[in-house]
């Protein structure tokens, strides 16, 4: 009985509350909806473009092709570590600087070039509008939002194109340093082989004992020369480090804001706040009435 009475009491209180404040709440809801709609119309619409790549294995292509024994297939792709490597490059400062320079984003984003915080503002805007994430099937998706749909598509495709440039730059720098070291080792081994051969000719009695050492030095020299050849191939060739699954296209529909969501969200949010405020007012009023009674 008590529970039923409590439920009936609450329901009755709600009905009385709506009768008392219904007109006000209706006006508040309508006004809030109109204001929210106007605000949504003032927000600059953003268009979204996406592109997807599958990174190839980060192993040296020359080694995969030239080496006789190599455990990785040069057609291999889609490993987790390769995705992480690709995401790191796509989110790198080098990529950001290249994109900002190529599309003059400082001006495009209307950032004051005389401001001491212009670089911070540009970086903040860049991070907000450009995103990179791994897909469910070991691909990498690049998403760019912009007020200009053609600009959004252009930036997206450029990032995937420049990704190869960054990969080749990293591999070139590593290959260049490695080539210098390998060439030094090859020169040193060559000198040792020549000296040993000269000693074997000058001292035939040492030929038998030096034969094993000579064979080992020649084997080491051949191995190092092979690796040097592979490294020089990496130095002289520009290769692709991705499979381009989907290119970005110019969007024909804005992605943000969703005016219906903004309007309904603003209207219902304001309505809820108004209801809570009225409930608080009534609670305070009842408290005062109870205190005023003898």
Which residue ranges make up each domain of the chain? 2-43+258-292, 47-176+240-246
Q: How far is Cα 236 from Cα 124, in angstroms, rounded to an integer? A: 38
**What local confidence, expressed as pLDDT, does residue 7 receive?**
47
Q: How far is Cα 241 from Cα 127, in angstroms, rounded to an integer? A: 24
**What local confidence, expressed as pLDDT, does residue 257 receive?**
67
* Confidence label for 52 from pLDDT (cuts 50, 70 and 90): very high
Residue 9 has pLDDT above 60, yes or no: no
Q: Among candidates 38, 165, 198, 202, which has minimal Cα distance to 90?
A: 165
Inter-CA distances, 257 with 51, 62, 109, 153, 221, Å: 21, 49, 18, 19, 65
Q: How far is Cα 14 from Cα 189, in angstroms, rounded to an integer? A: 94
Provide the CB-side half-sphere exposure for 41 (13 A, CA).
Answer: 6
| Residues with Cβ within 8 Å of residue 125, at least 6 apart in sequence | 105, 109, 111
**What local confidence, expressed as pLDDT, does residue 131 receive?**
94
- Residue that is written with structure tokens 């305070």 in the block: 284
Q: How far is Cα 245 from Cα 171, in angstroms, rounded to an integer? A: 23
* Confidence label for 64 from pLDDT (cuts 50, 70 and 90): very low
Give yes or no for a contact between 25 and 125, defined as CB atoms under 8 angstroms apart: no
Give yes or no for a contact between 46 and 254, defined as CB atoms under 8 angstroms apart: yes
Sheet with 130-134, strands from edge to edge, namely 130-134, 140-146, 47-55, 242-246
Residue 84: both structure tokens together: 């992480």
Give yes or no for a contact between 83 and 132, defined as CB atoms under 8 angstroms apart: no
- Residues in the chain, overall count: 294
**What local confidence, expressed as pLDDT, does residue 58 receive?**
54
> Average pLDDT in the 254-266 region?
75
Burial of 171 (C-beta count, 10 Å sphere; 0-12/13-18/19+): buried
Output the CATH code of domain 47-176+240-246.
Answer: 3.30.1890.10
> What's the alpha-carbon Rg for the chain, to the nearest Å?
35
Residue 59 has pLDDT above 70, yes or no: no
Question: pTM to 2 decimals?
Answer: 0.64
Beta-strand runs (E) in the chain? 47-55, 130-134, 140-146, 242-246
**What local confidence, expressed as pLDDT, does residue 152 receive?**
94
């Amino acid at each position: 009985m008590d529970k039923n009475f409590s439920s009936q009491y609450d329901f009755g209180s709600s009905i009385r509350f709506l009768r008392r404040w219904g007109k006000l709440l209706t006006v508040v809801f309508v006004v809030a909806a109109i204001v929210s709609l106007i605000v949504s119309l003032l927000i600059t619409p953003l268009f979204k473009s996406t592109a997807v790549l599958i990174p190839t294995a980060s192993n040296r292509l020359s080694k995969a092709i030239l080496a006789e024994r190599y455990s990785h297939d040069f057609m291999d792709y889609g490993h987790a570590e390769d995705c992480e490597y690709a995401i790191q490059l796509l989110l790198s400062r080098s990529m950001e600087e290249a994109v900002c320079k190529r599309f003059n984003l400082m001006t495009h984003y209307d950032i004051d070039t005389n401001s001491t915080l212009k670089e911070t503002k540009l970086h903040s805007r860049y991070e907000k509008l450009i995103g990179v994430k791994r897909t469910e099937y070991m691909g990498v998706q690049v998403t760019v939002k912009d007020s200009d749909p053609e600009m959004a598509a252009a930036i997206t495709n450029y990032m995937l194109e420049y990704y190869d440039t960054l990969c080749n730059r990293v591999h070139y720098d590593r290959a260049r340093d490695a080539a210098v070291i390998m060439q030094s080792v090859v020169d040193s081994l060559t000198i040792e082989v020549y000296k040993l051969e000269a000693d074997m000719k000058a001292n035939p009695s040492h030929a038998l004992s030096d034969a094993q050492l000579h064979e080992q030095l020649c084997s080491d020299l051949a191995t190092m020369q092979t690796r040097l050849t592979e490294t020089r191939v990496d130095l002289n060739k520009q290769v692709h480090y991705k499979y381009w699954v989907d290119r970005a296209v110019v969007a024909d529909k804005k992605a943000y804001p969703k005016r219906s969501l903004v309007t309904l969200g603003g209207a219902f949010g304001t309505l809820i706040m108004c209801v809570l405020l009225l409930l608080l007012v009534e609670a305070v009023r009842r408290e005062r009435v109870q205190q005023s009674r003898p």
